[in-house]
Structure 1
Amino acid sequence: MKGVIMAGGFGTRLRPLTCNLPKPMAPMANRPMMHHIVNLLKKLEVREIISLLYYQPESISSYFGNGSAFGIEMFYTQSEADYGTAGSVRNAFTFLDERFIVISGDVLTDIDLQKAIDFHEAKKAKATLVLTRVPDPLAFGVVMTSEDGKITRFLEKPQWGEVFSDTINTGIYILEPEVLNLIPYQQDFDFSKDLFPLMLEQDMGLYGYVGEGYWRDVGNLDEYQQAHLDILKGNVKVEIPGTHQGSVWIEEGAQVSENAKFEGSVIVGADATIESGATVTNCVIGAKAHVAAGAKLRDTVLWEGSRIGRGSQLTSDVLCQEVEIGDDVVVAEKVYIADRCVIGNEARLLANIKLWPDKEVESRSTVSSSLVWADRWTRELFTNARITGLSNIEMTPEFGAKIGSALGAFAGKGRSVAISRDADNVSRMVHRAMTTGLMSAGVIVNDLQQTPIPLTRSELRNGKQATGVHIRKSPHDRRKTDIIFFSADGRDMPPSKTKSIERLFFGEEYQRAPYNEVGSIFFPERTNESYITSFLQVLDEEAIRVARMKVALDFSYGVASTILPNILGALGPEVVALNGYQDPTRMAREREEIEAAQKKLGEVVTSLGYDMGFIIDPGAEKVYAVCETGASIHNYRLLTILTKLFLETHPDVKKIAVPVVASTEVEMIAAEYNVEVVYTKNTHLAMMEATSDPDIGFVGGTRGGFIFPEFLFAIDGMYAVAKIMEMTVKSGLTLGQLDRELPRRAVTDRTIDCPWELKGRAMRRAMEHSEGMRRELIDGVKIWLDDHDWVLLIPDKERPTFHVVVETAEAEKSAQLALEYEKRVREWKEDSVAIS
């Protein structure tokens, strides 16, 4: 007799344990589940086995090889598609030339299958199903038999009213080879739904044998844990490797301290270490795992290479390969941690959560909900005033409702909150989910619907609402969605307030409003009209109208296309519009795509003889410019040009503000007008905070965002376009002319990979290196090499990278210095000795 192991399961219900391996390879008592099945078949003298592969086949074939190490011959066949249980067996037609037994590779059983084979032979059956009795058969297919074992009826997933028997199908079948002729080739065909009903209809000798012994379908995480506990209790007979000492099994190479305490049954894998003072109760410790002194583990399964820190406590949990648990961590019941996760010291993981692979939980964090395919998990939900997540994976309706509830609790019952979005469908989904969360907290929701971000800020600035949010497709990564949080005045929410929301979110401390105090929704009227009126009031409309400028605009498929045309209609320029309609699928652009769009826009400007061209980002906040010659203007250079234009047309201004990364060109121009330059951090929040100084008339960024406090305290791409038109008209200068005539310096920006945990070391080395040198510590470490040349060393706030920005008079020198400092940073993040 030959054996067939069904080994193509995805193990979806076992995730996150099966994120990186097929379900049959999930460890059970330190051996893959399929390993136990192979042992079971060997007891039947089955020596030729074929494995039916589908999902991650190499994981199985590399483990079992040709089977010689297991005393069998192992063969493989892989389906090109999912052909169902019977259809996949049909693929092994040429191999199955004699009686064979089919068994799933992901069950745990010790049923005496030899008795089932004897029954099959005695009945001269063509197919025998191995059945078992269970107290709750609702989740399984019920099989009814006559007194002689002949199957009379199948009931797939019955209701209680249909549970006429407690015998269920175990998925173990003994079949004669001619049965394969009933299965169509490469078609979806199932044993229970198709083949067996067909055999029953044709009265082909279909029998059921009720086996005695243990059987468990390891179909979900609870079953996986229970199967391990059953092994430890001796409820199922499986081969447990290692030396048996009472109720403890210890494999070769394991090091167990004499002062370690074992309670109940424990399995310790090869080369594992259990230190003095550790207490291990009813656990499976994987190969090469490490349990430090003072740790307490109960009813827990550790896979290979996992490490438990000193004093940590785990109860009824499963840790996959190479999980790192820090010191004094508390992990509550039913926590499932996938491969290579890192849990920092003193972290708390609350009950019933799942961590997908490669998550990182920082020290002293509290995790209360499952973490799916994210890049990194920290104590901070926010990056500045923004939450960013993978669309419909992290940014889900559930998340939206929860963060809405937290924001509602922060705002307070009875208060008003403004909410807006872009045209993207995920934004719409999260917008509605947040609305429900806000309402549940008793908040009045002012729904601005599809609205540009600057308009939402403008609506908030009267301070009548507690807070506001805008949901958008990330302009940088089309896979992600952003939620931007505003204070009552429309500025970015400061860290002190985002921290409060985080505490509410993670602690789930928000209260629901009573049924009669649930919030309501309003749709404010004339929001656009109010914004446009304020917009035009502060511009010199007449000067722009008389000039009859010619401007090309790329709306980036964003929401500015619904507002700006009305404004430009009042200002009177001749406009050609590109991408002037909303298309959520095309809003996000990579840097290369923006550069290509600038080039195309430049071609339009030159071919039509226009004065200038602008790309407005989808959120209507930032602009990218081309001059009258069609040349693209880099954002660093655009700041220099706008500084000149602004100071030329606003002679009474005393101060301007720019980020610390801005070119010294700005300082040189400001000196000509005796204007002070105030430096800020390289964040939008810091730029907005600068506008609180009434002497600051202009705040310019290096990434296309510009603030004109005369109109708004935040970046506004639509106003920037109109203001640039006004300033060029009133000054008589063009963008191209200024680009040619203004002083030009060379800036080099290099990015170095730097893990989060090494950023602090690199910054410390930068401080040591710059000791005694002229430096500024506004944002990163800015080292002045002389009165004009400088180097800025700054870690990225959102990515595991480090930036080196260098400015000198000559491009060659700038590039050379950048390379030198890149080398230094690489050494700083790796060496333990300071480098000068």
Structure 2
Amino acid sequence: MGFKADDLHAVILAGGEGSRLRPLTVDRPKPMLPVGNVPILEHLITHLKKHGIKRITLAAHYLAAEIESYFGDGANFGVEIDYFIESVPMGTAGAIRAMREMIGESTALVLSGDALTNADFEAAYLAHRANQAKITLLLSRVESPLEFGVVVMDADQRIVGLVEKPTWAEVVSDTVNTGMYFVEPEVLSELEAERILDWSGDVFPQWIEGNREIYGHVIQDYWSDVGSFAQYSAANHDVLSGIFATDEPSTEDGLRVGAFSVIDEAAKLIPPVIIGRNCRVKAGAVVGPDTVIGDNVLIEEGAQVQRSIVWDSTYIGANANLESTIVASRVTIKRIAAIQEESVIGDRCTIEAGAKIRPRVKLWPDKTVERGAVVTHSLVWGTRYRAQLFRDLGVAGISNVEITPDFAVRLGAAIGSRFPRKTSIVTSRDSTRSSRMVKRAIISSLLSVGLDVIDLRSMAVPVARHYISRCGAGGAIHVRKLPGNSRVTLIETFDQTGAYINRRMERDIENAFNREDFRRADSDELGVIDFAGRAVEGYQADFHRLLDHSQVRHRMRVVCDFGFSALAGVYPSMLARLNVDAVSLNAFNDAKRAPRSPDDQSRHIAELRGIIQTLPNSIGVVFFDEGERLVVVDERGRVVEGHHLAAAMLHLVRASQKQGIVVASSLILSYLNAEGHQNGVEVVGSKSDVRSIMEDAARTDVLFASDERGGFIFPGLHPGFDAAFAFAKLLSLLQSQEVALSEIVDQLPFSAQAYEQVHCPSPKKGTVMRSLHDWAPSNWQVSLEEGIRFSDQDSWIQVIPDVFEPTLHVYVEAKEDDRCADLMEQIRSELVRAVEAASN
């Protein structure tokens, strides 16, 4: 009874998602993972062809098009391939049952598409025929059978027991199921159609329990189930060492270099090494041992790649170091980067110069690791791992994508480790669920490093800053949505005064975070949580103490839109002492309805204008950004905001006969200084970023500070922006001077301002700004104090590169609206042109 390959129809189950091998299997099915630069499935098909088995059906589900695109009808591989695409998973047996008509009356040779083998199918099939078996399992003997189905056979090779993935207590044999079977067509006919069925979980146990004969055949040949990173690396090692033989000719020196590859004479290859086609290895580079390099890979001078697997079209920069890692396709690894043991880099990732990937870290596809960053944990969501944690206001990232509970725990430990044990840290948040989640994770971490926590729970930022400056705590952490972006969580860290921590401490925290240099307290030294008492009452007391109520001579009517913020729980009760009749809008805390986007804020302003126009002699206010900024509507329904609001406040302060300094953002300085130094009040400029304004506001004799977006700081109360106090101060000055806000606005010179953002890749900012400097009209003055500022007698343009994001901030001011719009169009067009030119 000889072997007839035509009696067999091979069915390869190639539908697995390979979840344990992510991120390698995000963009490709597991059977298409390359082993020795050849997909697992191709190794299997080549081996079938050697046995003359040419009729093959591929059962695919996950990313099936990738498999079909590669193999086609099989003609290029010398076989005949057709496909069965599972619209939904049907189980290993259910899928074969659905192919009953395709298999016909042939014996089915069922194979797993994610296993490597050089099994002797001829000997196995002859044993199947000799036993007149309906089902024969191909078996292998392994040292650790815990990840497989353990099989027990009697003396006649009949299977009498099968235990799937046993514990050591259940291991009774070292013989395991390889997932390869011979199955006769009548067995398939018996299976129930259109039902999810698995061979090992359903069919085989039923046959064994029913005393129906299933035979086993132990193969003595190579077999490896590629189900984990360790197994995948081991399979590549087996190809390198010749344990698993391939069609590629072996070499005595253990070096296999593909066609058109160029190896510099000064490069060093340490066998065993496989290098694909069209590669280049430059002088001083060291490749090997135990290394597989795919096609079209460039390895620069001095790079070292050892015990690693690198897929196609990857770039490895000068002096980069890869040790025992797996790197997928089209990855860019720049100079001096280090990829450490057991790490896995997904497709199309970019590792910038000097970055380090720590052991066992996995990067999902399309991630960018910034220059010098140290990645200590896997990066699944988001697109970028930053070397710098802190941005302008704090640590920011997409909620529950980049800013996750585990990230918050590590950040809290890094922050907490910078403070002495038993220091008290104040925590607070806005009312969003994501902020609550992040804050709780941070609190747990602070306790673990031996710090005590005073929790304010949900609290407006100005009240939190005030409490911090009065309670004697060592610092504070506030969690909220980033102003203007509801998808991004912002984690702010304050010092004992309520101001932002300095840059030096931020760098210390970043270093601790990247090195995971966290202190751990003994169990009897863990911190405790206390809840703050009378924080609001203390704020209200100081708030009223700093206002002069004695000069109030008449009541005013005001309409306050609290924007569904936490300020709604603090301010309404204070309005009575301001001698006003108040109408409150949106005066409850509802994070989902808070106006964060520019469109939402414009809608709230428009609604307030409509109300003011129906209430004679009323002024209105909308509070934004958790009580940090405001927009005012005067008695005639005109919107007073930004530079106009700052000018109105300055006019009233000067009229009050107070002497001192007013700090103004550089973006409104020229407008506020139009009338010069008057009544002992001097206006001084500050850079436009929040930190600079806060630092300058802390100087002595400062009456108030203002930015261009309705933010006001009155340093006697606390060091941050406080819209509630600014509005109260405005009311107090209007009342004491018995003047209407509309009268003040009438006296202000008109000036139109506009603001836009232009995208510019960070590496191109310098080139674009140089080009912009050269573009400047000859009759304009140029200033380089903050970005680039062009100005003439009646207008100016200022372009400021964002410190962290790939963005240019563009500001324009002119005497007329049309002129302002024209200038914005000119500068926008020039910047877009310059960005395109720099990118080409």
Q: TM-score with structure 1 length normalisation?
A: 0.90
* Alpha-carbon shift at residue 244 of structure 1 (Å): 5.0
Contact 1:419 1:447 in 2 (8 A): yes
Relative to 1, partners in 2 of residues 1:153 and 1:633: Cα closer, same or farther, differing over 3 Å? farther
Contact 1:474 1:480 in 2 (8 A): yes
**One-letter amino acid matched to 1:412:** P
Aligned to 1:24: 31
1:511 equivalent to 2:519? Answer: yes
1:791 equivalent to 2:797? Answer: yes
Aligned to 1:803: 809
Contact 1:552 1:610 in 2 (8 A): no
* Alpha-carbon shift at residue 820 of structure 1 (Å): 3.2
1:592 equivalent to 2:599? Answer: yes
* Alpha-carbon shift at residue 525 of structure 1 (Å): 1.6
Write the distance in 2 (CA, Å) between the matches of 1:646 and 1:179: 94
Which segment drifts farther, 159-168 or 583-592?
583-592
**Equivalent of 1:819 in 810, 825, 829:** 825
Q: Percent identity?
A: 32
Aligned to 1:494: 502
Aligned to 1:4: 11
Map of 1:455-470 to 2, 5 A cutoff?
455-462=463-470, 464-470=472-478
Give the superposed CA RMSD: 3.3
Aligned to 1:695: 701
**Equivalent of 2:411 in 384, 403, 406:** 403
Contact 1:385 1:498 in 2 (8 A): no
Relative to 1, partners in 2 of residues 1:748 and 1:621: Cα closer, same or farther, differing over 3 Å? closer
Write the distance in 2 (CA, Å) between the matches of 1:627 and 1:200: 87
Which segment drifts farther, 815-824 or 308-317?
815-824
Map of 1:398-547 to 2, 5 A cutoff?
398-462=406-470, 464-540=472-548, 547=555
SS at match of 1:173: strand
Aligned to 1:677: 683
Aligned to 1:122: 130
* Alpha-carbon shift at residue 579 of structure 1 (Å): 4.3
Map of 1:566-585 to 2, 5 A cutoff?
566-568=573-575, 570-571=577-578, 573-585=580-592
Contact 2:669 2:685 in 1 (8 A): no
**Equivalent of 1:273 in 272, 277, 280:** 280
**Equivalent of 1:144 in 152, 158, 174:** 152
Which segment drifts farther, 227-236 or 800-809?
800-809
**One-letter amino acid matched to 1:165:** S
Map of 1:161-200 to 2, 5 A cutoff?
161-180=169-188, 187-200=195-208
**One-letter amino acid matched to 2:570:** I
Contact 1:475 1:587 in 2 (8 A): no
Relative to 1, partners in 2 of residues 1:533 and 1:248: Cα closer, same or farther, differing over 3 Å? same
Map of 1:257-296 to 2, 5 A cutoff?
257-281=264-288, 282-296=290-304
* Alpha-carbon shift at residue 644 of structure 1 (Å): 4.4
**One-letter amino acid matched to 1:17:** L
Relative to 1, partners in 2 of residues 1:229 and 1:655: Cα closer, same or farther, differing over 3 Å? same
Radius of gyration: which is bigger? 2
* Alpha-carbon shift at residue 13 of structure 1 (Å): 2.1
Aligned to 2:69: 62
Aligned to 2:673: 667
What residue ranges of structure 1 are gaps of 5+ in the alignment? Answer: none
Structure 1 residues 747-776: Cα deviation after superposition (integer angstroms, max 9, x where no partner):
333332211211232234445556996333
Write the distance in 2 (CA, Å) between the matches of 1:726 and 1:625: 15
Relative to 1, partners in 2 of residues 1:634 and 1:691: Cα closer, same or farther, differing over 3 Å? closer
Q: How many residues align?
A: 830
Write the distance in 1 (CA, Å) between the matches of 2:579 and 2:269: 84
Write the distance in 2 (CA, Å) between the matches of 1:195 and 1:737: 89
1:745 equivalent to 2:737? Answer: no
Relative to 1, partners in 2 of residues 1:223 and 1:716: Cα closer, same or farther, differing over 3 Å? farther
Relative to 1, partners in 2 of residues 1:587 and 1:363: Cα closer, same or farther, differing over 3 Å? same
Contact 1:144 1:165 in 2 (8 A): yes
**One-letter amino acid matched to 1:566:** S
Relative to 1, partners in 2 of residues 1:518 and 1:248: Cα closer, same or farther, differing over 3 Å? same
Write the distance in 1 (CA, Å) between the matches of 2:104 and 2:579: 85
Write the distance in 1 (CA, Å) between the matches of 2:81 and 2:432: 51
Relative to 1, partners in 2 of residues 1:810 and 1:279: Cα closer, same or farther, differing over 3 Å? same
Write the distance in 1 (CA, Å) between the matches of 2:644 and 2:229: 57
* Alpha-carbon shift at residue 292 of structure 1 (Å): 1.6
Contact 2:138 2:181 in 1 (8 A): yes
1:722 equivalent to 2:728? Answer: yes
Aligned to 2:217: 209
SS at match of 1:138: coil
SS at match of 1:697: strand
Write the distance in 2 (CA, Å) between the matches of 1:2 and 1:833: 55
Contact 2:12 2:113 in 1 (8 A): yes
Structure 1 residues 358-407: Cα deviation after superposition (integer angstroms, max 9, x where no partner):
33334444333333323322321110241112333332333222222221
Contact 2:553 2:736 in 1 (8 A): no
Write the distance in 1 (CA, Å) between the matches of 2:741 and 2:27: 54
Structure 1 residues 485-517: Cα deviation after superposition (integer angstroms, max 9, x where no partner):
111211012212111111122122333234433
Contact 1:552 1:604 in 2 (8 A): no
SS at match of 2:668: coil
Relative to 1, partners in 2 of residues 1:462 and 1:29: Cα closer, same or farther, differing over 3 Å? same
Structure 1 residues 764-794: Cα deviation after superposition (integer angstroms, max 9, x where no partner):
444555699633334322222x134211121
SS at match of 2:663: strand
Write the distance in 2 (CA, Å) between the matches of 1:144 and 1:87: 25
Relative to 1, partners in 2 of residues 1:270 and 1:422: Cα closer, same or farther, differing over 3 Å? same
**Equivalent of 1:562 in 559, 569, 573:** 569
SS at match of 1:402: helix
Relative to 1, partners in 2 of residues 1:544 and 1:335: Cα closer, same or farther, differing over 3 Å? farther
Contact 2:51 2:122 in 1 (8 A): yes
SS at match of 2:272: strand
Q: TM-score with structure 2 length normalisation?
A: 0.90
1:42 equivalent to 2:49? Answer: yes
Contact 2:425 2:453 in 1 (8 A): yes
**One-letter amino acid matched to 2:120:** D
Map of 1:334-373 to 2, 5 A cutoff?
334-373=342-381
Relative to 1, partners in 2 of residues 1:125 and 1:709: Cα closer, same or farther, differing over 3 Å? same
* Alpha-carbon shift at residue 458 of structure 1 (Å): 0.8
Contact 1:747 1:807 in 2 (8 A): yes
